[in-house]
Structure 1
Amino acid sequence: MISRKTLMLSCALMALGGGAAQAQTVIEELVVTAEKREQSLQDVPVAVSAFTDERREMVGINSVQDLTNFTPGLAYSTNNDRINMRGIGRFTNNRSSEGGVAMYNDGVYTSSVTAFARSTLFIDRTEALRGPQGTLYGRNSIGGALNIISKRPTDDFYAEVRAGMGNYDTWMTEAAISGPLVGNIRGRLAGSYNSQGEGYFTNLNPNGKSEGGRGDQWQVEGQLDGELGDGKLEWWLKVDSAEWHNLGRGPGGRTTITYGLRDVTSPLQAALTPNSAALGLPLGLPGNQCQFCFDTDDGNYISLENNGYAFNATLHLDSFDVKYIAGYTYYDYRLQTDLDATSRQAPFQLPVSTQPYYPRRNNQYQEEVWWFSNEINIASTYDSPLQWLIGAYQFREGSNYTLSDARHPDDARFENPTLFSLNPATQLIPAAPNPERRYAYGSSENRSESYAVFGQADWQFTDELKFTAGLRYTYDRKRSFESARLFCLYTATCPISRVTGRPVDVTAVAAPGTSTDPAVYLPAFTDPTTGLRHRGLKYDWSGITGTLGVDWQPDPDTLAYAKYTRGYKAGGFNSGTTTLTPNVTTQEETIDAYEVGLKKTFGGTFQANASAFLYDYQDIQVPITGRDPVTDLNVTRFFNMPKARIVGFELETIWQPIDNLQILANYSYLNAELKEACCFQDPEDPRGLQPGVVLAGNTAAALASPTAGLNQDLDGAKLPSSTPHRVTFNVNYTWEFDVGELSASLTHVWKDKTYYSIFNRYYNEGKAWHQTDARLLWNDIDDRYTLIAYVKNIFEQEGVAGADGSRINTGPNTGFINRTISYVPPRTYGVELQYRF
């Protein structure tokens, strides 16, 4: 295994070698739009990682995980669809709380990361702006911004078809056609279909199917563009649609394995994979027969429907441009999961009751979301030392979000439950019907609005010195209408069900709820026809953000910059829970970011971009169990952790020492620590018994009690997904022949151990890992076709993309903490043919 010191030393030696090399080739200039103007990457005073379609093909970036490998400071977890930049991101998938990394598709804000995994047939360039973008990309860009730029219609006729196949019964086909239509109007139409027939995880149920990466996905996209008034007005329109029908492929799909001990007494506890003897019974598969195995009847079924449009129009006037950007998206994501984690379906009798128990349970998760935005930018174009850009922005999102819709599909008794009562004489009063056979339900209807005005000015003070100042005001408003219902069966909460065998509706006592939206419902209430408990939430936030910076460019090959940036992210709600928990609203997050950077090109053959940063990150939004400062009681809620300090260094290099040889090397260091983080309770270690725990904020009674949960001081704990060290190498070389050229590309990624929870314990830690990929590309002399052969994860390393713990609360193994690890895909390989007309 390559050591950290070896990798860091290699980066340093490469940097030294680049200045002395007598190279014969020059690094190609890359144009980006990081500051909403077209500029050379080396002239932009922002830490930007940019990838053209050619670079993505050469190094093999065709997933979001691949993008993180080549972007310092960027992290992504496929299982829960969460993206982080320099330790800042999101700790929940709740639709009422956004992430900290803003994502844009052709300038239109999107809350979905799926578009970033599209192939190079669709995407011309991907840009990752690291650090707060509090002026030009203000909406929730407290950690950074990602932007993809689509391939546009061409002036001349162009067509391309692609086909590929690989292991795990994988195949794909894509096609695109582009060119002039009528007058000066051009068009482009592209489509893709890909399928994976076998999963990475084996289902031991003979009637079940494998999962992990399995499923079918298709997408189609159409574009039109043109101009009016001899080019004074340029316009562009894109309409796209995509669908997924997957079994464990994509966010929420099967990527995890659980290690540890079984819960042998809890009747409702799912079994440890792959020991499918759940429900406390000593039945099922003996032993850990297969690491990447499971045994279920209900799979992780994923479906997605995504439709949208984007529209840009630019009016070129004598001294400035006016650009209008608009977009709309409809996004419907559904996930079914097997909650009992077994393939058992036949009813049986539990020791606590003479009534039957039906083991089959599943959950229906859904995000049905629609959003639209409008933006106007006015940018100077005249020849002057002072250049400026001003704009206004509007965004609105609505969503139907169902976090929990857990059901007993085989148990008809849940259709006619009884009401909870402390009086035995009234314990058999019928509750509202429950035709879906739910036992837990939590959903919310949400609306989010955001409005902003912003401006930025650049003053070229001298030929070498430039000053930048920017300011943005943002106002956010949110509302949420929640619904919840909860049942119990055979538990201590409802002992009457052990006799009658009828589920008990405990919603009134388990989910009392408190409304914060008096215009809707105050107080919370129960609908007698559905049994659903409802309440309304409402809040608004605002923030002033901006940037101050100075650039020094002593020569065309050198840029040094220093800047201060203020970032802001609106608060949110922990809505959609089954218990309508109190204290669900958070305040806004803010950040004061200081960064210095240096971009240098040596002789046109070696390029090094370095940045160092210090963040003061305040009021971090985290859902957790902790002490309520008002009631002095432990509650689970959305907390604002007071402060974190983030320090980091990033280096990106390109070296072309000789013709046709290119060496890429990236290194990132990140130290993201919580400060003033007290007092919180670890649900997996409620008594704070793990090594290194610092107890704080506990009453004398809690300390004296052998069972009370105890709070911890998390000062110094690492933020989740903040990998301390990461290194990426790529070496590619091209051989030229009379009939074409052959390129070979080899990539190696090393990632340091990483915590995935603010509780930095062994059960939340992912081990360090490395991965090696290889590609061969053949292009004919006329560039009519390309043949690609690839292998990813050659040595089948078990790369970790997430880790968390699960405490056993009953039986002889009480207190033991199982570990659930999310893995990147195993070894994959295949071939692809691209043909251009």
Structure 2
Amino acid sequence: MVFKRQLLAVSALVGASLVANAAQAQSSNTIEELVITAEKREQSLQDVPVAVSAFTDERRETIGINSVQDLTNFTPGLSYATNNDRIAMRGIGRFTNNRSSEGGVAMYNDGVYTSSVTAFARSTLFIERTEALRGPQGTLYGRNSIGGALNIISKRPTDDFYAEVRGGLANYDNWFTEAAVSGPLVGNIRGRLAGSYSSQGEGYFKNLNPNGRDEGGIGDQWQIEGQLDGSLGDGKLEWWLKADTAEWHNLGRGPGGRTTALYGIRDVTSPLQAALTPNSATLGLPLGTAATECQFCFNNDDGNYISLENNGYALNATLHLDNFDVRYIGGYTYYDYRLQTDLDATSRQAPFNLPISATSSPLYYPRRHNQYQEEVWWFSNELNFASTHDGAMQWLLGLYQFREGSNYTLSDARHPDDPRFENPTLFSTNPATQLVAAAPNPLRRYAYGSSSNVSESYAAFGQLDWQVTETLKATAGLRYTYDRKRSFESARLFCLFTATCPISRVSGRAVDVTAVASPGASSDPSVYLPAYTDPTTGLRHRGLKNNWSGVTGTLGLDWQPDPDTLAYAKYTRGYKAGGFNSGTTTLAPNVTTEEETIDAYEVGLKKTFGGQLQANASAFYYDYQDIQIPITGRDPLTDLNVTRFFNMPKARIVGFEVETIWQPIDNLQILANYSYLNSELREACCFQDPEDPRGIQEGVVLAGNPTPLPATGALNQDLKGAKLPSSTPHRVTVNVNYTREMAAGSLTGSLTWVWRDDTYYSIFNRYYNQAKSWQQTDARVLWNDIDDRFTVIGYVKNIFEQEGVSGADGTRINTGPNTGFVNRTISYVPPRTYGVEVQYRF
């Protein structure tokens, strides 16, 4: 708290000093104007009544934005968790990767919607500009932009011939090479071709298994992008086409890769209490992360193997007519992501005898892994009509369509070495039928949950800007959105040697318990196809479908008394469609959520002082309703944690953000931003914390339970006042860069410091879900020759090897003498990395 008071006091003094000095400055050094397309028109950043963080390729190079995590450092209110590819803006984001439910931040690649944030990590060879729009963007962006929107704009073909090659080396056996060529082709058609390849051979996490590989950042990635553009009819029709493809073949690199360390103990005393089948957590095997030997160590045989295939196409066309433009934006993407994870968390592979009783010690195969997959394809079409005349009334109208199909497999857990799972028997309490053969299981699965999904969205929208006076402008926008979704679920579950299927201890065969563990019975109106079992595959299926709709919009006033000042106030209504918790192994009975809505109120001020100090500030208040949150609880039949969706009734989000650029003298630039965020659940009762089922942690408020309280079993908690996940209360970023001009070229030094406050990563605000505050310091040196042909960059990230945390989670031990102890899983940002990059332009 003392640090926070000092920080605020220093910030106030520095801010006052900056204003005074900038007002007196007579230097020719001025801040360069930045043109953005946040409101689907080209405008100066300082003229747009939206809280926007925008980064050109040049600025990204200077301050060191090379990853999505870097982007969050310089964008107030933005957070990202690498291990599960989830992004949040001002406390609103994505709390599940289920393909039947969207995130709260809309992402666009050249105006075409995308559901993965990985494209935002591309290098400046591909990206011209990155824009982050904070706050609901329900009128112009619509689809699930309830928290904000991100958009990247690619570098386009050039009028003159251009070519560039790049290469770099870094620690952890990291290297990359990139190249691009651009220019005129035939007539007025221009083209651009770019590609990159990167590889990392050493990992951030050490594998203590001598036959295994280290993980964390290891792998190979490549991508190729081609573009064409041109015009017809003397420039009346302009068109642009892009096609790109990318592949990953990684071991713990990228979303889903190894970023975590486990702290705690294992229950090694109750080998028959594990979920469905015994696992290493209860067999007395070595602790998977080997935390007693080193912090960033693990001991596995099967790694976090990641593969990704991504193919995308985008088309933009603009027809210039008298007084208005007609613009088409369309695209198609195919995305196939696969992740294999080690479930037994040990390097033990050899089978051994498991002592079940004094007379029974059947053979047990310890090796287990899971196959996760998101195979997704989507396309969208948007048609805009925008005024181009000089009148006081400017308007924009549009139509939008989106369709996504996906095959989503959350659980495909297997015993690859155990042939007994291939020919299971059906579960039965009748001894006469206990050995009836079930459908074959050739992949040796023991838990399977998947869904095939279709999501469609249609919208019509319009926005009107009225210049009431020379200094006052009024804005009104309205959008209607209709969403519908379908999901076809599949599930199967087996048990071996557990109390659920004692016959397996005698027969030595796995037992298919799908019918009792995944009945699929539900009164949920989304269930249009009741659950049934396919006798040939043993899979239990169910069909879901539902639709949602919402009216969103904005009302705002802008006051611009002079070219250097913009003050604005606005109200925005946001909406996000409901979804399904589909594809679980248990065919959850409560499967559907209602839509989310938000009423957002924001005021902002954008001010430039003497051309040398730019300060953009915004304050906001959100009334956030029906937040879609998955709650995890323990199923008493299977002893598995299962996740179900709920709509938390209400949250309140209050915040303040400021971004500044100060250029006090020629060649010196200071960038600083600060964000304050207070996001609280105001109504949220009554829910159970699987890691604290009896509610004994400090600060727990029990509610909605029988009186007197039952002696055993989980108890409900009232979560009013809990912080939303990934809502960092305070964050500060400062970058100082200085360029020295010389006869042979220029040398730029850049230093960045980031500090993040304590952050919870669950609505259960407990110590095991909290990341402590941390800071990081990065440095860069850039050399550019006088002809701007050569660029050499040297960099160090995380100079002081700070253990930055991007996620925290707890897992409770439920059996044995350590029952109630909560292990902690902490996700870390990369350690210290350093390297050099060389660029050459022809």
User: Which TM bucket (shorter chain)?
Assistant: over 0.9
Superposition pairs of residues 139-178 of structure 1, within 5 angstroms: 139-178=143-182
Alignment match, 2:351: 347
Q: Does 1:668 align with 2:675?
A: yes
CA drift at 1:121: 0.1
Q: Is the 8 A contact 1:263 1:269 kept in 2?
A: no
Alignment match, 1:806: 811
Residues 762-783 of structure 1 show CA distances to partners (whole Å, capped at 9, x for unaligned) of 0000000000000000000000
CA drift at 1:657: 0.3
Relative distance call for 1:282 and 1:119 in structure 2 (3 A) is: closer
Q: Is the 8 A contact 2:524 2:592 kept in 1?
A: no
Residue of structure 2 aligned with 1:472, choices 474, 479, 484? 479
CA drift at 1:138: 0.4
Alignment match, 2:638: none
Q: Is the 8 A contact 2:286 2:346 kept in 1?
A: no
Alignment match, 1:631: none
Alignment match, 1:835: 840
CA drift at 1:351: 2.2
| SS, match of residue 172 in structure 1 | strand
Alignment match, 1:793: 798
CA drift at 1:280: 2.2
Q: Is the 8 A contact 2:272 2:498 kept in 1?
A: no
| SS, match of residue 782 in structure 1 | coil
Superposition pairs of residues 221-370 of structure 1, within 5 angstroms: 221-267=225-271, 278-281=281-284, 288-352=292-356, 353-370=360-377
Name the aligned partner's letter for residue 281 of structure 1.
Answer: G
Alignment match, 1:523: 530
Residue of structure 2 aligned with 1:709, choices 714, 732, 736? 714
CA distance in 1, matches of 2:714, 2:281: 27
CA distance in 1, matches of 2:757, 2:106: 26
CA distance in 2, matches of 1:416, 1:134: 53
CA drift at 1:514: 3.8
CA drift at 1:354: 2.0
Name the aligned partner's letter for residue 198 of structure 2.
Answer: N
Greater shift after overlay, 262-271 or 479-488?
Answer: 262-271
CA distance in 2, matches of 1:287, 1:376: 56
Relative distance call for 1:34 and 1:269 in structure 2 (3 A) is: farther
Name the aligned partner's letter for residue 644 of structure 1.
Answer: A
Alignment match, 1:696: 703
Relative distance call for 1:636 and 1:257 in structure 2 (3 A) is: closer
Relative distance call for 1:269 and 1:658 in structure 2 (3 A) is: farther
CA drift at 1:139: 0.4
TM-score between the two structures when normalised by the length of structure 1:
0.97
Q: Does 1:585 align with 2:589?
A: no
Name the aligned partner's letter for residue 97 of structure 1.
Answer: S
Q: Is the 8 A contact 1:570 1:587 kept in 2?
A: yes
CA distance in 2, matches of 1:635, 1:245: 31
CA distance in 2, matches of 1:446, 1:97: 10
CA distance in 2, matches of 1:517, 1:680: 19
Q: Is the 8 A contact 2:263 2:291 kept in 1?
A: no
Alignment match, 2:410: 403
Q: Does 1:759 align with 2:764?
A: yes
Name the aligned partner's letter for residue 369 of structure 2.
Answer: N
CA distance in 2, matches of 1:420, 1:244: 41
Q: Is the 8 A contact 1:309 1:329 kept in 2?
A: yes
Residue of structure 2 aligned with 1:78, choices 62, 79, 82? 82
Alignment match, 1:420: 427
Superposition pairs of residues 433-472 of structure 1, within 5 angstroms: 433-472=440-479
Residues 468-503 of structure 1 show CA distances to partners (whole Å, capped at 9, x for unaligned) of 000000000000000000001111111111122111
CA drift at 1:515: 7.1
Alignment match, 2:654: 647
Residue of structure 2 aligned with 1:109, choices 113, 118, 129? 113
Alignment match, 1:5: 5
| SS, match of residue 93 in structure 2 | coil
CA distance in 1, matches of 2:214, 2:138: 45
CA distance in 1, matches of 2:806, 2:395: 42
Residue of structure 1 aligned with 2:125, choices 102, 116, 121? 121
Residues 188-208 of structure 1 show CA distances to partners (whole Å, capped at 9, x for unaligned) of 000000000000000000010
Q: Does 1:207 align with 2:207?
A: no
Q: Is the 8 A contact 1:803 1:821 kept in 2?
A: yes
Alignment match, 1:612: 619
Q: Is the 8 A contact 1:779 1:786 kept in 2?
A: yes
| SS, match of residue 530 in structure 2 | coil
Q: Is the 8 A contact 2:419 2:444 kept in 1?
A: yes
Q: Is the 8 A contact 1:404 1:440 kept in 2?
A: yes
CA distance in 2, matches of 1:270, 1:118: 43
Relative distance call for 1:587 and 1:197 in structure 2 (3 A) is: same
CA distance in 2, matches of 1:627, 1:820: 19
Residues 632-671 of structure 1 show CA distances to partners (whole Å, capped at 9, x for unaligned) of xx99521000000000000000000001000000000000
Greater shift after overlay, 489-498 or 401-410?
Answer: 489-498
CA distance in 1, matches of 2:457, 2:370: 32
Name the aligned partner's letter for residue 591 of structure 1.
Answer: I
CA drift at 1:700: 2.7
Residues 685-732 of structure 1 show CA distances to partners (whole Å, capped at 9, x for unaligned) of 00101011000011236x12x221100000000000000000000000
CA distance in 2, matches of 1:324, 1:268: 61
| SS, match of residue 611 in structure 1 | strand
CA drift at 1:625: 4.8
Q: Is the 8 A contact 1:340 1:361 kept in 2?
A: yes
Q: Does 1:196 align with 2:200?
A: yes
CA distance in 2, matches of 1:490, 1:164: 54
Residue of structure 2 aligned with 1:746, choices 734, 748, 751? 751
Alignment match, 1:544: 551
Relative distance call for 1:517 and 1:447 in structure 2 (3 A) is: farther
Residue of structure 1 aligned with 2:628, choices 598, 621, 642? 621
Alignment match, 1:485: 492
CA distance in 1, matches of 2:542, 2:339: 25
Q: How many residues align?
A: 826
Name the aligned partner's letter for residue 665 of structure 1.
Answer: A
Alignment match, 1:735: 740
CA drift at 1:143: 0.2
CA drift at 1:348: 1.1
Residue of structure 2 aligned with 1:568, choices 575, 585, 605? 575
Gaps of 5+ in 2: 636-640
| SS, match of residue 307 in structure 2 | strand
CA distance in 2, matches of 1:88, 1:256: 24
CA distance in 2, matches of 1:514, 1:604: 66
Residues 171-201 of structure 1 show CA distances to partners (whole Å, capped at 9, x for unaligned) of 0000000000000000000000000000000
Q: Is the 8 A contact 2:522 2:589 kept in 1?
A: no
Alignment match, 2:664: 657
Q: Is the 8 A contact 1:23 1:658 kept in 2?
A: no
CA distance in 1, matches of 2:246, 2:734: 34
TM-score between the two structures when normalised by the length of structure 2:
0.96
CA distance in 2, matches of 1:235, 1:207: 54
Gaps of 5+ in 1: 629-633
Q: Is the 8 A contact 1:665 1:730 kept in 2?
A: yes
CA distance in 2, matches of 1:44, 1:815: 53
Q: Is the 8 A contact 2:378 2:405 kept in 1?
A: yes
| SS, match of residue 3 in structure 1 | helix
CA drift at 1:3: 3.2
CA distance in 2, matches of 1:234, 1:2: 58
Residues 266-322 of structure 1 show CA distances to partners (whole Å, capped at 9, x for unaligned) of 438999xxxx97442266798701110001010000000000100000000010000
Percent identity over paired residues:
82
CA drift at 1:12: 2.5
Q: Is the 8 A contact 2:526 2:545 kept in 1?
A: no
